[in-house]
Structure 1
C-alpha cells in the first residue's frame, strides 16, 4: 500500500516508539489523503494516529516467530546495493 511503511517485526534492535509512531502517521496520512489535516479535522486525524499506534504496539508485542532476528544494518546495506544497481541502469 505505501512504500514508506517498513516492516517492524522481528528486528534486532526492536522497533522503536518513533518507528511505530511514524508508521501509524504514514498509514493515517495515506488513508485520509491528508499530509497535514485542516484545523477542523486535526483532532480526528491525530486521534486516529494514536489509535493505530496502540494497535501496532500490541500487534508487535503479541506476534511470535521462531525465525532468527533480522539485522537492520544488513537489510539497509542490501537495499542500498539494490538501489545503486537500479539507478545505474536507469541512467545508462
Structure 2
C-alpha cells in the first residue's frame, strides 16, 4: 500500500494539495490497517489524515535544497521504464 506514496519534495510544478492529501490518506490507511474505516472510527481516521497532511505541507514547505527541481514527466518516464524492465510488457 505505501509504495503508492510518492516523493513530493523538489518537483516542478510543486506538489498539489490533492497529491499531499492522497499521500496522507495512504499513510493513515497503512498505519490503521483500514482501507475504509467503520463509522465508529471514521472521525479519528479523517482527523489523522488531516493532521498528516498538515504535517506534510509543513515539511515540504520547510525543506531546502540546492538541487534543481525534478521534472514530473521525466521522472514518470523513468518509473515506467523501471517497471517495464522489472515486470516486462503485458
Bigger Rg, structure 1 or 2: 1
What do the CA deviations read for 1:27-84 (whole angstroms, capped 9, x no partner)? 0000000000000000000000000000000110000000000001001011111212
Unaligned residue ranges in structure 2 (runs of 5+): none
Computed over aligned residues only, the root mean square deviation of the Cα atoms, in angstroms, reads 1.5
**Structure 1: which 5+ residue stretches go unaligned?**
none
Secondary structure of the structure 2 residue equivalent to 1:48:
helix
The normalised TM-score by structure 1 is 0.92
Return the alpha-carbon distance in structure 2 between the equivalents of residues 88 and 64 of structure 1: 37
- Paired residue for 1:60? 60
Q: CA deviation at 1:88?
A: 2.2
Give the Cα–Cα distance (whole angstroms) in 2 for the partners of residues 27 and 41 of structure 1.
16
Equivalent pairs counted in the alignment come to: 90
Structure 2 residue matching 1:64: 3-state secondary structure: coil
Q: Which residue of 2 aligns with 1:38?
A: 38
